C-alpha cells in the first residue's frame, strides 16, 4: 500500500522521456509494497489477541502513513533507494529560488519534502522543508558501488506510533527485523501471501523458542538468585560471627587499655597531688615570709614615725629652751629669731638643726667687733652648750 504523498514523491522521481528510470522506480515501488505488506502482516500478527485485521490497519490513514514511511526507510536502508536531484522554484524565499539540491524524504506531518540543498562546501548539506509546488525534478543520482547500501538488515520500531495518534486502533505497533534474505524468500515463494504466511509461521516459531529460552533463563536466574541469596546469607552469618569475635577482642583490648590508662591516670593524679602539696607548702612559706616582711616594714615604719615625731619634738623643745634661756641676751634672742624666720622650726634631724644654728651664729658674728664678738659668742655658747648638754 502506498500513500498519496508517496505517489507524489514517485512522480517527482520520474524524469520525462527516461523509460529506463521508470523501470527502476517500478522495481523500488514493488520492493516498498512488499515491505509494506510485511510490516502490516507483522502488526496484525503481533496484535492478534486484540482481533486486529489488515483491513483495519489499511483503512486507518495515520497507520497507513506510518507503515508507508517505515517501508520507504527500510527500502532505502537495505537497497539504497533512488535519490532525485531537484531545483527550487516559486518559493517565497528568494534566496532559495534557483538553488540545486537532493530530495531526501516526504514529511507526512509537515506535508512537505525534505530537501538537502547544495552549498559551496558540499552537496546535500543544508536541510529545508519545501512544498511540492516549489520543487522541480532535474534528474536522479544513479546507484553505484559508492552509494549502494551495505546494510543486510533493518530494525522496524513502531512501538509508540499507534499509541499517540488516532486511538481507534487498539494495537501497540510492533518491533522486528527485516533482512535482505527475508525479502528474497518472500519473492521466491509461490505468491506473496504464501511467503508472508511462511514468514509469520517462522516468526511464531522463533518467538516460541525465544519464550522458552527466556523462561529457562528466568528459571536459571531464579535458581542463581536463590543460590546467591544462600551464599549471601552464609557470608552475612560469617561476617556477623567474625564481627562479634572482633568486637570481643576489641572490648578485651579496650578493657586492658582502660586499665593501663586508669593506672597512668592514678599515677599522674598522685604526682599532681604531691606537686600541689609542695606548691602549697612553698606558697605558705612565701606568704609567711611576706607576712613577716610586712610586719617588719610596718614596725619599722611605726618606729621611724615615732623617731621622726620624737626628733621633731626634741627640736621644738630645744628651740623653746633656747628662747627661754636667751631672754636675758638680746643678741642671742635676735639671732635666734632671725634664724627661725629663715629656716623655720620644723626639723627632722636635731643634728642638722644644731649644725645649721652654729653656722648661722658664726656667720653673724663676723661683722661684730672683736671685744663684742668674744663676749656675745661666749654668751651664745653658754646658752647653746647648756641646752645641747641638757638634751
Pairing of strands 100-107, 83-88: antiparallel
Which comes out higher in pLDDT, residue 15 or 259?
Answer: 259
Its domain, for residue 383, covers 311-390
pLDDT in tens, 187-205: 888 888 888 888 889 888 9
Work out the average pLDDT over 49-66: 82
Work out the average pLDDT over 132-161: 66
Which comes out higher in pLDDT, residue 150 or 309?
Answer: 309
Confidence tier at 9 by pLDDT (50, 70, 90): very low
Q: How far apart are CA 134 and CA 131, in angstroms?
A: 5
Q: How far apart are CA 181 and CA 199, in angstroms?
A: 11
16 and 165, same domain (yes or no): yes
pLDDT over 60 at 312, yes or no = yes
Q: How far is CA 31 from CA 2, 74, 140, 182, 322, in A?
A: 11, 10, 18, 12, 161
Work out the average pLDDT over 43-62: 83
- 235 falls within a domain: no
pLDDT in tens, 373-385: 455 555 655 655 5
- 102 falls within a domain: yes
pLDDT recorded at residue 144: 46
User: How far does Cα 109 stand from its chain's mean position?
Assistant: 46
Cell of 64: 497507513
Q: How far apart are CA 26 and CA 21, in angstroms?
A: 9
- 119 falls within a domain: yes
Sign of CA dihedral 166, 169, 174, 180: negative
pLDDT recorded at residue 262: 92
Q: Which residue, of 179, 200, 215, is where some domain finishes?
A: 215
User: How far does Cα 195 stand from its chain's mean position?
Assistant: 63
- 185 falls within a domain: yes
Cell of 331: 643678741
pLDDT over 50 at 361, yes or no = yes
Neighbours of 29 (CB within 10 A): 16
pLDDT recorded at residue 324: 73
pLDDT recorded at residue 20: 47
Neighbours of 195 (CB within 10 A): 22
Least confident of 8-17, 28-37, 214-223, 236-245: 8-17
Q: How far apart are CA 200 and CA 197, in angstroms?
A: 5
SS3 percent helix, strand, coil of the chain, rounded to 5, is 70, 10, 20
Q: Which residue, of 215, 236, 255, is where some domain finishes?
A: 215
Which comes out higher in pLDDT, residue 314 or 259?
Answer: 259
Q: What's the Rg (C-alpha) of the chain?
A: 67
Neighbours of 266 (CB within 10 A): 10
Work out the average pLDDT over 168-180: 71
Least confident of 121-135, 291-305, 309-323: 309-323
CA atoms within 13 A on the CB side of 148: 5
**Considering the chain, what percentage of its residues have pLDDT values greater than 90?**
20
Sign of CA dihedral 120, 122, 127, 129: positive
164 and 20, same domain (yes or no): yes
- 224 falls within a domain: no
Return the residue matching grid coordinates 502506498.
2
* Burial degree of 170 (CB within 10 A; 0-12, 13-18, 19+): exposed
Work out the average pLDDT over 309-333: 73
326 and 210, same domain (yes or no): no
Report how many domains make up the chain: 2
pLDDT recorded at residue 375: 56
Confidence tier at 103 by pLDDT (50, 70, 90): confident
- 228 falls within a domain: no
211 and 332, same domain (yes or no): no
- 189 falls within a domain: yes
pLDDT recorded at residue 305: 84
327 and 194, same domain (yes or no): no
80 and 187, same domain (yes or no): yes
Cell of 381: 655658747
CA proximity to 32, closest of 63, 7, 11, 59: 7
**Considering the chain, what percentage of its residues have pLDDT values greater than 70?**
74
Q: How far is CA 224 from CA 22, 220, 228, 238, 261, in A?
A: 61, 6, 6, 21, 52
335 and 207, same domain (yes or no): no
pLDDT recorded at residue 357: 76
Q: Which residue, of 194, 215, 236, is where some domain finishes?
A: 215
CA proximity to 47, closest of 193, 154, 173: 173
Cell of 345: 622650726
pLDDT recorded at residue 266: 92
CA proximity to 183, closest of 6, 69, 39: 39
Confidence tier at 5 by pLDDT (50, 70, 90): very low
Confidence tier at 13 by pLDDT (50, 70, 90): very low
DSSP reduced 3-state for 345: coil
203 and 337, same domain (yes or no): no
Q: How far apart are CA 161 and CA 185, in angstroms?
A: 28
- 240 falls within a domain: no
pLDDT over 60 at 140, yes or no = no
In our burial notation (b when 16+ CB lie closer than 10 A, e otherwise), range 45-63 reads bbbeeeebeeebbeebeeb
Amino acid at each position: 500500500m502506498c500513500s498519496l504523498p508517496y505517489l507524489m514523491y514517485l512522480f517527482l522521481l520520474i524524469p520525462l522521456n527516461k523509460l529506463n528510470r521508470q523501470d527502476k522506480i517500478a522495481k523500488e515501488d514493488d520492493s516498498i509494497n512488499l515491505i509494506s505488506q510485511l510490516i502490516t502482516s507483522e502488526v496484525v500478527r503481533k496484535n492478534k489477541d486484540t482481533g486486529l485485521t489488515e483491513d483495519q490497519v489499511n483503512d486507518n490513514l495515520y497507520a497507513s502513513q506510518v507503515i508507508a514511511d517505515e517501508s520507504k526507510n527500510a527500502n532505502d536502508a537495505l537497497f539504497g533507494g533512488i535519490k532525485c536531484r531537484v531545483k527550487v522554484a516559486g518559493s517565497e524565499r528568494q534566496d532559495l529560488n534557483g538553488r540545486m539540491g537532493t530530495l531526501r524524504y516526504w514529511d507526512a506531518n509537515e506535508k512537505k519534502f525534505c530537501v538537502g540543498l547544495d552549498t559551496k562546501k558540499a552537496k546535500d548539506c543544508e536541510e529545508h522543508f519545501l512544498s511540492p509546488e516549489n520543487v522541480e525534478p532535474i534528474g536522479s543520482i544513479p546507484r553505484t558501488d559508492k552509494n549502494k547500501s551495505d546494510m543486510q538488515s533493518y530494525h522496524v520500531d513502531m512501538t509508540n506510533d499507534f499509541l499517540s495518534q488516532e486511538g481507534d486502533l487498539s494495537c501497540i505497533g510492533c518491533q522486528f527485523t527485516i533482512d535482505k534474505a527475508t525479502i528474497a524468500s518472500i519473492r521466491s515463494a509461490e505468491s506473496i501471501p504464501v511467503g508472508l504466511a511462511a514468514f509469520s509461521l517462522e516468526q511464531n516459531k522463533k518467538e516460541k523458542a525465544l519464550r522458552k529460552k527466556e523462561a529457562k533463563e528466568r528459571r536459571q536466574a531464579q535458581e542463581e538468585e536463590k543460590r546467591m541469596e544462600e551464599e549471601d546469607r552464609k557470608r552475612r552469618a560469617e561476617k556477623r560471627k567474625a564481627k562479634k569475635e572482633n568486637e570481643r577482642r576489641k572490648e578485651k583490648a579496650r578493657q586492658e587499655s582502660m586499665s593501663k590508662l586508669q593506672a597512668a591516670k592514678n599515677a599522674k593524679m598522685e604526682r599532681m597531688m604531691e606537686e600541689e602539696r609542695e606548691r602549697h607548702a612553698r606558697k605558705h612559706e612565701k606568704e609567711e615570709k611576706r607576712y613577716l616582711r610586712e610586719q617588719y616594714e610596718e614596725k619599722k615604719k611605726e618606729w621611724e614615725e615615732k623617731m621622726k615625731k620624737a626628733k621633731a619634738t626634741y627640736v621644738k623643745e630645744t628651740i623653746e629652751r633656747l628662747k627661754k634661756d636667751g631672754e636675758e641676751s638680746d643678741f642671742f634672742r635676735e639671732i635666734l629669731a632671725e634664724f627661725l624666720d629663715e629656716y623655720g622650726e620644723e626639723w627632722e634631724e636635731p643634728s642638722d638643726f644644731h649644725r645649721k644654728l652654729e653656722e648661722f651664729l658664726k656667720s653673724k658674728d663676723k661683722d661684730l667687733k672683736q671685744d663684742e664678738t668674744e663676749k656675745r659668742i661666749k654668751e651664745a655658747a653658754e646658752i647653746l652648750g647648756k641646752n645641747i648638754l641638757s638634751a
